[in-house]
Structure 1
Amino acid sequence: MGSIEKVECVEVQISHSSSISTSESHEVSHQYTDEEYKRLRRKIDRYLLPLMWLCHGLQQVDKGSVGTQATFGLREDTGLVGQQFAWLTTMFYLTYLIFELPSVVLLQRYPMGRVLSLYVICWGIVVLCIGFAQNFAQLVTLRALQGMFECSISPGFLLVVGTWYKTREHPSRALVFQSGFAGMSIMTDAIVYGIGSVTNKNPDFQAWRYMSFFLGSVTVLAGAACLLFLGTPSEVRWLSAEEKKIAVARVMENNTGHDRTGFKDWKWDQARECLTDPTFWFAGLNATLNAVPNGALTSFSGILNTTFGFTNLQVLILNIPKYCFTALYFVLVGVVATKKKNTRMWIMMLSNITPIVGFLLIAILPNDPQYKWTKWVAHFITSPYITSTFFAWSLVPSNVAGRTKRTLCTTITFVGYCVGNMTGTQIFRAKDAPRYVPGLIACTVCLTAQVVVIFVWRMVYVMRNRRLDMRMSELGITEEDRIKAGKEIGESDCTDLHNPFFRYAM
C-alpha cells in the first residue's frame, strides 16, 4: 500500500469517533439487540447453508465422478490408454487454474449470486454431456470446460461467508458447506450403486454414462435454485430493507468492511502489499501441499480400492461409512473451532496425522487378500486431511482485509489448490500400477511438510497479535474501543497490515 493510502487509513483511525456518526453501518450497529442479530443469523442459515451445502457437495461429486466411472468401464468404452485417464483430471485443474483469477474478478465486479448461479448451471450441462463422450478428445475437452466453470464455486462461497458471517462464525459455516461432499456422496453413491448394479444383469449396459446424466441433471436444478436465493446481503430478495441493514451491521466487527466495500475498485497498492506479505505465500504453499493427495484420491481412490481386492460395487458401499465419518468429523471440528478461540490451525495440523499414517500403510502393505481390510482401514483414516484445506480457505475472509488483497489471497489459495491437484493426478503413473507406491510416498511427504508450514504460518499471526496487544496497552485503548475503531477502518477498505486495530484469527 502506498503512503497516501496509508495516511488515509490512519486519518480514518484518528477521526473514527467523529466519522462513525456519518457511517450508516455504524449507526445501525447500535440500534439492534442481540436477539435481533441472532434471529437474522438463523434466517441466513436457513436460506444459505442448505444451498451452499448442496452446490459444494455436487461440485466435489461431479469433479471426482470420473474416478467411480473408471471402475464401471469409462476407460475401456472410450479407449483410454496410458496416462490419458490421469489427464482427464489434470486438464480439469489446468482450466480451473487458468480461469480462477478472471472468475474471482467477475465475482468482485458483478452480482455474486447471479454469477455463481450461472456457473453452476453451465458445469451441470457439461457433466451431463460427458455421458455422450466417445473418445479421449471429447472427454478431455468436456473436462476442461468443467474445470473452467467449477473454478468459481469454492472462492465464491468463501466470499459469501465473509459477507454474511462474523469471523468466529467463518470456520463452522465454511465447514458446513464443505461437508456437503460427504453428505452428497452418500446420497449420490446410493443412486450410482443402483445404476451400476444394472451392469450385472446386462453386461452391455454402460453405467458410467447414466451416472453422468443423473449428476448433470441434478446440478442444473441446483443452479436454478441458486438464481432464486444465493447472493450477498445487498443482492438477495428474501431480506427486507431493514434486515439488510442489520446484516451489514452484524459483520462490521470483522474489520474487513461490508459486501460493497471496494466493490468496483482494483487497488494496485493492495496487490503489491499482498505479494510482500509472507502469509500470502503460506496460503498458497499450504493449499498446494494439501492438494497433492487430494488430486491423487480424486482420480484413483476407487481404482485403489479395487486393487485391494474389492469389486466396484463393494467400493461404493464401503465409501458410505467413510463419508459418514468425514461429515461427523467436519461437524466436530467446526464446533470446536467456533467454541474454542484460535484453534483452527492446531486442528489443521492434527488432522494430517492419521492421513500420514494411512498413506504409509497403503504404500507398505502388499495387495494381498489377507491385507485388504487393513488397507481399507488405512484408506479410511486418510479422510481428515482435507480439513487443512477447508480451514485454510476460511482463514482468508477472517484474516485478510482490503477487497483487492482478499481477492488475490483467495486466488493464490486456489492456484495452489489447482497446482497440487494437477501434480497429484500425475504422480500416480500407469507404470506404477497397481500399487502406485511412489505416488503414495509423495502424498505422505506433502502432508508432513504441510504440518511444518502451518506451524510457521501460525507463529507469524501470534507475533502480529502480540504486537497489537503491546500497542493497545501502551496507548491505553480498551478492547471495546479497539473493535469499534477497527470496524471503521475496515469499512474504508484498509488492509489488515495497515489497520492498527486488526486482530488475526488462528
Structure 2
Amino acid sequence: MLSQFKPNSPVFEMEKSCEKQHKVMTSSEEVALGEFEEGPLCSKAGVDLGMEAAQESMGLQVDEVTNKRLLRKADCYICTMMSVVYAVQYMDKQTNSYASIMGLRKDLKMHGNQYSWVGTCFYLGYMIFEIPSSLALQRFPIAKVSAVFIVLWGFVLCMTSLPKNYASFIATRTVLGILESAVTPAFMLLTSQWYRREEQFLRTSIWSASAGLGAILGSLIAYGLAVRDPSSLPIASWRLLYVVLGVVTIVLGVAFFFVPDTPASAWFLTKEERLLTVERIRSNKQGFGNRHFKKNQLREVFMDIRTYIYFATMVAAEIPNGGIGNFGSIMLTDMGYNSKRALLMGTPFGAVEFGGIILVGYIAQKKQKRMAAAFFSYCLNIVSGCLLAFPSNTNAQLAGYYLQGMAVIGWICFISCVSSNTAGHTKKVVTSAICMIGYCVGNLIGPQTFKSAEAPHYKSAKIAIVVCFVICLFLTVLLYCINVRANKIRDEKNEKLDSSFVNSEFADLTDFENPEFRYSL
C-alpha cells in the first residue's frame, strides 16, 4: 500500500495498517466471484449494494452509443431532479435576503446585530444535524430519506410565515437548517453513484449552478410580491414569499420519492440497462454504497490529511457566502438602489452564477482539469472581493458583487473531490459530513462579519472576503500537490489487487485500501 507521507506519520501508519488488511483480502479465495458472501471482509455486510448486480453484469461491454444513451437518461432523470431541488433550496436560503428589504426586519422589530443571527441560526441547526442526517443517508435508502427531509423542510418554510416576534422566527429558521442538512450530502452520493469520475465535476457544476436559477426566480417572485398593493395580499408580502416557496418545496419533495436509490433499482431503465449502468461506473472503484457503518473506515477519515484540507477550505470559502447570502440585497441598497430595484438587481448575480459555473464545468471536464478550475475561481474571487472592498465607485462594487456569483466554483471542486477521490462508503459519508460541517461553520461566521456599527458599507466584512479567498487558493494548491504526489508514488509501485479478487470495485474498499485507486486532478 502506498505511503505518500513521511514514515512514522499517522497517515503512514494508517496506510501500513490498510496494507495488512489488503494482503489478507487479496490472498483469500473467498472473495472469488459467487463466493463473496462468505468472507469476513467481503460478506454481505462488507460489500457494496451493487455487488449482486456486478456479478451478473461482469463481462458486459458498454459501447459508445450505449454509454451516451445511459448518460442521457441519468441526466434527464437524476441530474435534472437534483438541479430543480437545489434551485428551490437556494431560493429558500435567500428568502431572508429578500424579506429583509420587504419588511421582515421592521415587522419583527429587529435591531443591532439581530438580523445577522437570522442567517447564523440556520447554519447552526444545519451543523448540529449534519452527522445524524449523513448517517441516515447511509443506513436507509438515499432518495427516500432525502424526500422526507425535503417535504418537512417545505412545511417548516410555510410555517416561517407565522411568527409574530423575533424569537419564534429564529426557532423556525433553526429547524429549517436541520431539515436542509441532508440535501447536499445526498446529492454528492447520488452523483458518485450515477456518473463516472470524469463526468462528475460537470454534473456537480450543473446542479450546483442551479442555485443561480434559484436566485433569478427568487428575486423575480420577491419583486412581484413587493410591487403588489399590500391591501390586495392576504398577508404581508414577505410572509407570502415563504408560503409560496414552501408549497413548491413540498411538491418537489413528493416527486423525489420516485428517484431511484441506486442505479441497480432504477425504474426508468430496463434490466439490461441497469446492468450496463453497473458496468459503466465500475471504473470509479467505489460502487453504489453500503448500509453498514465500518469503524476502520471512520479511523481512516481522520488519518487522511485531505479531510482537514476539505474542512478548512469549506470554512474559508463559506464565510463570504454566508455574508453575501444574507446581506446581498442590503449591499445593493447601499449602492443606491431602492428596495424594489435591489430585488431586480439580484437577478444578474444568478445569471452569472448559472452560466459561468456551467461554462467552467464544461471546460474543466473537456480538459479533465478540475483543480485548474478551482485555481481560476479563487483568483477571480480575490479580484471580485477587492472590487467590493476598496473602490468607492458603485459600478466597480456592483461588478465585484456579480462576480461573486462565480465563488461557488471552488466549492464545487472540493465537493466533487469528495465524491470522486474518497472511496469506501462509510469514509465517503463521514468525509462529506465533515465537509458540510465546515460549510456550516463558515456560514455561521459569515453574517457575523457584517457588524451593524459599520452599516451600510461593512468595510471589515468585505476585507474578510478577500482574506478568505486567499486562504482557499493556498489550500487548493496544497491539495493538488498532495494528490499528484500520491498518484506518482502509486504509479511507480504499480501494485495490483490479487487476481482472485473479483469485483473488487464493489467490495467497498477505501482509496487507502485499494492500490489501483488514483486521485482525480
Is the TM value for this pair above 0.5? yes
Q: Is 269-278 or 352-361 further displaced after alignment?
A: 352-361
**What is the one-letter code of the residue matched to 2:276?**
I
Q: Is 6-15 or 36-45 further displaced after alignment?
A: 6-15
**Bigger proportion of residues as helix:** 1
Work out whether residues 158 and 245 of structure 2, in 8 Å CA contact, stay in contact via their aligned partners in 1.
Answer: yes
Work out whether residues 62 and 276 of structure 2, in 8 Å CA contact, stay in contact via their aligned partners in 1.
Answer: no
In the alignment, what sits opposite 2:3? none
Say if 1:488 and 1:8 are closer, same or farther in 2 by CA, change over 3 A: farther
Say how many residue pairs are matched: 491
User: Could you report, residue by residue, the CA deviation over 1:114-170 in whole angstroms, capped at 9, with x for unpaired residues?
Assistant: 100011111111111111221111110100110000010001100001111110011
**What is the one-letter code of the residue matched to 1:493?**
D
In the alignment, what sits opposite 2:32? 19
1:159 to 189, 194, 199: 189
Does the alignment pair 1:470 with 2:496? no
Work out whether residues 371 and 476 of structure 2, in 8 Å CA contact, stay in contact via their aligned partners in 1.
Answer: yes
Does the alignment pair 1:56 with 2:86? yes
In the alignment, what sits opposite 1:255? 285
1:359 to 385, 391, 416: 385
Shift of 1:193: 1.4
Work out whether residues 329 and 384 of structure 1, in 8 Å CA contact, stay in contact via their aligned partners in 2.
Answer: yes
CA distance in 2, matches of 1:221, 1:81: 35
After superposition, where does 1:404-443 map in structure 2 within 5 Å? 404-443=426-465
After superposition, where does 1:316-465 map in structure 2 within 5 Å? 316-341=343-368, 343-366=369-392, 371-465=393-487
Work out whether residues 149 and 179 of structure 2, in 8 Å CA contact, stay in contact via their aligned partners in 1.
Answer: yes
User: Could you report, residue by residue, the CA deviation over 1:321-364 in whole angstroms, capped at 9, with x for unpaired residues?
Assistant: 222122111111111121112x1112112112232222223222
Say if 1:4 and 1:460 are closer, same or farther in 2 by CA, change over 3 A: closer
Shift of 1:42: 1.3
CA distance in 2, matches of 1:486, 1:456: 34
Does the alignment pair 1:175 with 2:205? yes
**What is the one-letter code of the residue matched to 2:57?**
V
User: Could you report, residue by residue, the CA deviation over 1:164-185 in whole angstroms, capped at 9, with x for unpaired residues?
Assistant: 1110011011111111111122
User: Unaligned 5+ residue runs, structure 1?
Assistant: none
CA distance in 2, matches of 1:396, 1:122: 27
In the alignment, what sits opposite 1:489? 504
In the alignment, what sits opposite 1:269? 296
* SS of the residue 1:259 aligns to: coil
In the alignment, what sits opposite 1:306? 333
CA distance in 1, matches of 2:20, 2:181: 37
Shift of 1:21: 7.3
* SS of the residue 1:332 aligns to: helix
**What is the one-letter code of the residue matched to 1:355?**
N
Identity percentage of aligned residues? 27
* SS of the residue 1:62 aligns to: helix
In the alignment, what sits opposite 2:57? 28
CA distance in 2, matches of 1:312, 1:103: 37
CA distance in 2, matches of 1:389, 1:200: 40
Say if 1:418 and 1:313 are closer, same or farther in 2 by CA, change over 3 A: same
Work out whether residues 12 and 488 of structure 1, in 8 Å CA contact, stay in contact via their aligned partners in 2.
Answer: no
User: Could you report, residue by residue, the CA deviation over 1:208-258 in whole angstroms, capped at 9, with x for unpaired residues?
Assistant: 1111111111111111111123532244433333332222222111111x2
Work out whether residues 230 and 237 of structure 2, in 8 Å CA contact, stay in contact via their aligned partners in 1.
Answer: no
**What is the one-letter code of the residue matched to 1:218?**
V
**What is the one-letter code of the residue matched to 1:498?**
E
* SS of the residue 1:504 aligns to: coil
Say if 1:376 and 1:170 are closer, same or farther in 2 by CA, change over 3 A: same
Work out whether residues 254 and 398 of structure 1, in 8 Å CA contact, stay in contact via their aligned partners in 2.
Answer: yes
RMSD: 2.5
CA distance in 2, matches of 1:405, 1:146: 27
Does the alignment pair 1:209 with 2:239? yes
* SS of the residue 1:179 aligns to: helix
* SS of the residue 1:125 aligns to: helix
**What is the one-letter code of the residue matched to 2:138?**
Q
CA distance in 1, matches of 2:299, 2:274: 33
* SS of the residue 1:198 aligns to: coil
1:9 to 22, 29, 33: 22
CA distance in 1, matches of 2:104, 2:265: 42
CA distance in 1, matches of 2:143, 2:130: 17
User: Unaligned 5+ residue runs, structure 2?
Assistant: 1-13, 36-50
Say if 1:16 and 1:358 are closer, same or farther in 2 by CA, change over 3 A: farther
- TM (normalized to structure 2)? 0.89
Say if 1:470 and 1:146 are closer, same or farther in 2 by CA, change over 3 A: same
CA distance in 1, matches of 2:250, 2:260: 15
Say if 1:199 and 1:309 are closer, same or farther in 2 by CA, change over 3 A: farther
CA distance in 2, matches of 1:158, 1:358: 28
Shift of 1:485: 9.7
CA distance in 1, matches of 2:500, 2:112: 60
